Structure 1
């Protein structure tokens, strides 16, 4: 099995689903607008800087749905998908995914964003395997906390190694596409690293290493 692994935000999507979730909550008046937007923007900047406290951020991102009725939360997520995520789909990303499917590769998304946000996105893209930060659910309700190792920076490598061991697979011949220097630990690990619309740090590193640099933006 050859793995084709994809980061999600600003790679397959033309934007950041995590940050978009916060914006959706603000625009739908489901949170305090001024405070939530300020914190959401600051967390996103921390991520771009490679300085995100992922545990603190996930508690922030999940707190609005903590303890709420599952049907209410599902309705919020459906509205979020329609209003915020669908406009971020990219035709060239679809073409790239199709090219790997045609070669018989096994597709996977690995993302620091939590599964509440990313599960429906992976499903819509037809990608069976998703490694994401896992929200804690008790009695069918989100607690606002996470469980296990978050899939952020080195955590992506940890979680992927666990998945490979569980499935009896290896990274031989694997591909990984990402836009972010936060993903350098995993990019360095695969045989075929590809920088996609990369941030300046990743672009410089990729060009120094002779890695492919590409764009999926239409």
Structure 2
């Protein structure tokens, strides 16, 4: 079996997801009042990250966890509707060149995966018209009113590689002839899994790696 693994932010979707999530919260008719408390919690750790006092992984995990706190007093169906509304808009702006590659791989019989740190309900909403064999994103834990500390495990960095490998336990994968698409240096762990890594509008660190190793760049 050959696989084709796609990142989401900056790859299948040309932009970053979290700023859109923040704006959706800010302007949402039901949840807009949750925006200010969220920002109050976010700003100190974001400033610490910018001052190199906090690792990016910690900052992202903290941000996602407190974003979900906006929904702890609401029915799960309301949160699902919230993600669906944003995903419906985002689905109109997927990268045509990456979608073309995805369809080429599908015609050639590849197992198609989407692996991203974005919230999984949002990924399903955005890609409702795109045929994936497997979508793996950051799971949303059960949200309860009395929960003070939500447990969240963002799918980023080496964690992406772990979830990909777990997907194929006891299965024979032709990694040498498989593909992986990513835009960021943080995607390196997954890009290095395959014989055909592709850097999509890469950031400066990934661009340097891709040029030195003669990887394809689109």
TM-score, normalising length from structure 2?
Answer: 0.81
Do the aligned partners of residues 37 and 90 (structure 1) sit closer, same or farther apart at CA in structure 2, a change above 3 Å counting? farther
Distance in 1, Cα, partners of 2:130 & 2:49: 28
- Counterpart in 1 of 2:8? 8
- Counterpart in 2 of 1:103? 108
**1:58-90, Cα deviation, whole Å (9 max, x unpaired):** 21232212242123223222221234x134322
Contact 1:17 1:117 (C-alpha < 8 Å) held by counterparts: no
Distance in 1, Cα, partners of 2:111 & 2:189: 21
**1:151-204, Cα deviation, whole Å (9 max, x unpaired):** 210001111111110x62435222110000011112122111110011111111
Do the aligned partners of residues 92 and 51 (structure 1) sit closer, same or farther apart at CA in structure 2, a change above 3 Å counting? same
Superposed CA RMSD in Å reads 3.0
Kindly report which structure 2 residues correspond to 1:162-177, keeping only aligned pairs within 5 A, or say none.
162-165=166-169, 168-170=171-173, 172=175, 173-177=177-181
- Counterpart in 2 of 1:52? 57
Runs of 5+ consecutive residues of structure 1 not aligned to the other structure: none
Q: 59-68 or 127-136, which moves further after superposition?
A: 59-68
Given candidates 68, 71, 78, the residue that maps to 1:62 is 68
Q: Which has the higher strand share?
A: 1
Matched, 1:199 2:203: yes
Kindly report which structure 2 residues correspond to 1:1-218, keeping only aligned pairs within 5 A, or say none.
1-28=1-28, 29-33=32-36, 36=39, 39=42, 51-53=56-58, 54-83=60-89, 85-137=90-142, 145-146=150-151, 149-165=153-169, 168-170=171-173, 172=175, 173-214=177-218
**1:123-164, Cα deviation, whole Å (9 max, x unpaired):** 33221301212221268xx997345x5321000111111111
Distance in 2, Cα, partners of 1:119 & 1:66: 21
Question: Secondary structure of the residue that 1:137 maps to in structure 2?
Answer: coil
Distance in 2, Cα, partners of 1:169 & 1:132: 23
TM-score, normalising length from structure 1?
Answer: 0.81
Contact 2:26 2:35 (C-alpha < 8 Å) held by counterparts: yes
Contact 2:114 2:135 (C-alpha < 8 Å) held by counterparts: yes
Contact 1:150 1:156 (C-alpha < 8 Å) held by counterparts: no
Distance in 2, Cα, partners of 1:144 & 1:77: 21
Contact 1:179 1:195 (C-alpha < 8 Å) held by counterparts: yes
Do the aligned partners of residues 63 and 104 (structure 1) sit closer, same or farther apart at CA in structure 2, a change above 3 Å counting? same
| Larger Rg over CA atoms | 2
